[in-house]
Amino acid sequence: MDGASGAPRLGVKVRSLRRREGLSQAQLATRLGVSPSYLNLIENDRRSLSAAMLLRLAGELGADLRTFTADDDARLAAELLEMFGDPLFEEAGLTSADVRELVAQSPTAARAVLGLYAAYHEARNTARGLEAQLSDAEGVESKPAGVPSEEVSDFLQRHVNHFPALEEAAERLWRDAGLHADELTRGLTQHLERAHGVQVRVAQVEQTRGVLRRYEPERHLLTLSELLPPRSRNFQLAQQVALLSPHADVGRWMADKGLTSDASRTLARVALASYFAGAVLMPYGPFLKAARQARYDIELLGHRFRTSFEQVCHRLTTLRRPGHEGVPFHMVRIDVAGNISKRFSASGIHIARFSGACPRWDVFRAFLTPGRIHTQVSRMPDGKTYFCVARTLSKDGGGYRSQHAVQSLGLGCEVEHARELVYSDGVDLTSPGAAVPVGVTCRLCERTDCTERALPSTRHPLRIDENVRTASFFSPTEP
């Protein structure tokens, strides 16, 4: 039976994943137990995909089933729209329909365009940095604009920030090492010594010189700074276990073509080790049960599992085990300058990648009252509504003369899930007037009455009338 015209176009995704794995049609067809001609029909959307075939394809291509959903296309389209919001494309006159058509017809080409723009964006930022250095005559070495961190963010997004093999490894460690929640530090320390011959010591800050964790392979010695509180020591111990315990799936993940440099692959390996550490400190089953019972009270969960606010938020974004999912959250972490250092979205919200995010978002407002949890019902320009919480994070440098870094972390979900969160108690989730109009970036936002707009919208040509003053300098005036 031919694929229905209204059905999702999955053939191009199958072809893209097959090519990513370096397989020919004949090779994949053999693995699936079908003929190459039948697979060719699937890839050209002339045969529909049954649920059983989807499962087999996902298994053979090492892909999550969510790869075959519309969410992946929507996220790609959103990133392209943000990219085309650059003034560089102002004369092109591209519409959202043009972008959706490109994604539907050739997602591989769409990703290639996105990658090309990312390289351009990096080169432009580097050039600006060089210009600043030349003008200041300071001679500071220039560094690329954080591409490895972007590649790792995309890597985690592709895997929906859920790695079943690492979850199983964490559960196995609890059994094999005989870990107990009340003596986790001792249990992890003893496991490192028994399984890897590693000695653990805690050193004073004068000895570590600002290094929080240092592993010396030749001495089999792990040194932790006294600046690390117990919850952070446990995290570093568990992370070291992961780094010393090669996992079969890690090699395959490191071969991901989206990780284009040694720096990206190393950072991804550290991210996976951190994922494992979070899974050890907050085991999947007990943590999901506690999260539901506590209605996702982040601070309460931190006390119960002896973890930090940020560690709990990270863990909440990983609860995607099929049949045992938690609330699908998005998470973003920023500094006071608005730089996004961490981002992940399972809620469907689009988080700015190439330009500044909307200042109306509660993750920015949290800086106004440090340490206090903010809640917000946010309505995006596409009409979708999200419930978000945000709080600042303070990183103590360890002494009176040390620097203290302050960041803000935002966690949110679609408003349909808000009642599952304790923070929604007493919040009006249904009234249109209760939602704060929030955008992705100023360039993409169509709202013309925003007093906080920093740039003109691509939807409205900039017209300046010296005789008229509107809510914002960039709000359109009548021609």
Question: Is the pLDDT at 130 greater than 70, yes or no?
Answer: no
CA-CA distances (angstroms) from residue 28 to 9, 18, 441?
Answer: 19, 7, 42
Q: Determine, yes or no, domain membership for 293.
A: no
Same domain assignment for residues 41 and 95: no
Same domain assignment for residues 359 and 423: yes
Grouping H, G, I as helix, E, B as strand and the rest as coil, residue 310 is helix
Q: What is the pLDDT of residue 3?
A: 44
Same domain assignment for residues 345 and 422: yes
Q: What is the pLDDT of residues 324-358, one digit of tens each?
A: 999 999 999 999 888 888 989 988 888 877 667 88
DSSP state of 446: -
Question: Is the pLDDT at 125 greater than 70, yes or no?
Answer: no
Helix axes 230-244, 164-177, angle to 10 degrees: 110
Rounded Cα distance between 191 and 199, Å, is 10
Question: Is the pLDDT at 297 greater than 60, yes or no?
Answer: yes
Give the pair of three-digit tokens for residue 400.
């009176």
Same domain assignment for residues 77 and 64: no
Helix axes 164-177, 184-196, angle to 10 degrees: 90
Work out the pLDDT band at 186, boundaries 50, 70, 90: very high
Q: What is the pLDDT of residue 334?
A: 92
Q: What is the pLDDT of residue 283?
A: 97
Same domain assignment for residues 42 and 112: no
Same domain assignment for residues 138 and 169: no
Q: What is the pLDDT of residue 355?
A: 64
- Choose the final residue of a domain: 68, 84, 113: 68
Q: What is the pLDDT of residue 144?
A: 40
Same domain assignment for residues 271 and 331: no
CATH number at residue 381: 3.30.450
**For range 7-21, the mean pLDDT:** 73
Rounded Cα distance between 251 and 107, Å, is 26
Work out the pLDDT band at 477, boundaries 50, 70, 90: low
Q: Determine, yes or no, domain membership for 316.
A: no
Q: Determine, yes or no, domain membership for 297.
A: no
Question: Is the pLDDT at 132 greater than 90, yes or no?
Answer: no
Q: Determine, yes or no, domain membership for 382.
A: yes
**For range 159-170, the mean pLDDT:** 94
**For range 372-397, the mean pLDDT:** 90
Helix segments in 210-260, DSSP class H: 230-244, 248-254
Number of domains in the chain: 5
Rounded Cα distance between 472 and 116, Å, is 33
Q: Determine, yes or no, domain membership for 301.
A: no
Question: 331, 311, 317: which is closest to 288 by C-alpha?
Answer: 317
Same domain assignment for residues 115 and 45: no
- Choose the final residue of a domain: 112, 145, 178: 145
Considering the entire predicted model, what is its pTM? 0.73
Q: Determine, yes or no, domain membership for 88.
A: yes
Work out the pLDDT band at 396, boundaries 50, 70, 90: low
Same domain assignment for residues 183 and 264: yes
Round the average pLDDT of the chain to a whole number and report it: 83
Work out the pLDDT band at 205, boundaries 50, 70, 90: confident
Task: Please give the residue range of the domain that contains residue 468.
Answer: 446-479
Question: Is the pLDDT at 462 greater than 90, yes or no?
Answer: no
Grouping H, G, I as helix, E, B as strand and the rest as coil, residue 386 is strand
Q: What is the pLDDT of residue 252?
A: 85
In the block, tokens 């992890």 appear at: 188
In three state form, how does the secondary structure of 184-209 look? Answer: HHHHHHHHHHHHHCCEEEEECHHHHC
Same domain assignment for residues 188 and 274: yes
CATH number at residue 271: 1.10.10.2910
Same domain assignment for residues 169 and 276: yes
Same domain assignment for residues 351 and 430: yes
Q: Determine, yes or no, domain membership for 5.
A: no
Q: Determine, yes or no, domain membership for 190.
A: yes
**For range 417-424, the mean pLDDT:** 97
Q: What is the pLDDT of residue 184?
A: 95
| 103 contacts 110 by C-beta, under 8 angstroms | yes
Q: What is the pLDDT of residues 67-122, one digit of tens each?
A: 666 566 777 787 787 777 776 776 677 777 888 778 777 777 888 888 888 777 76
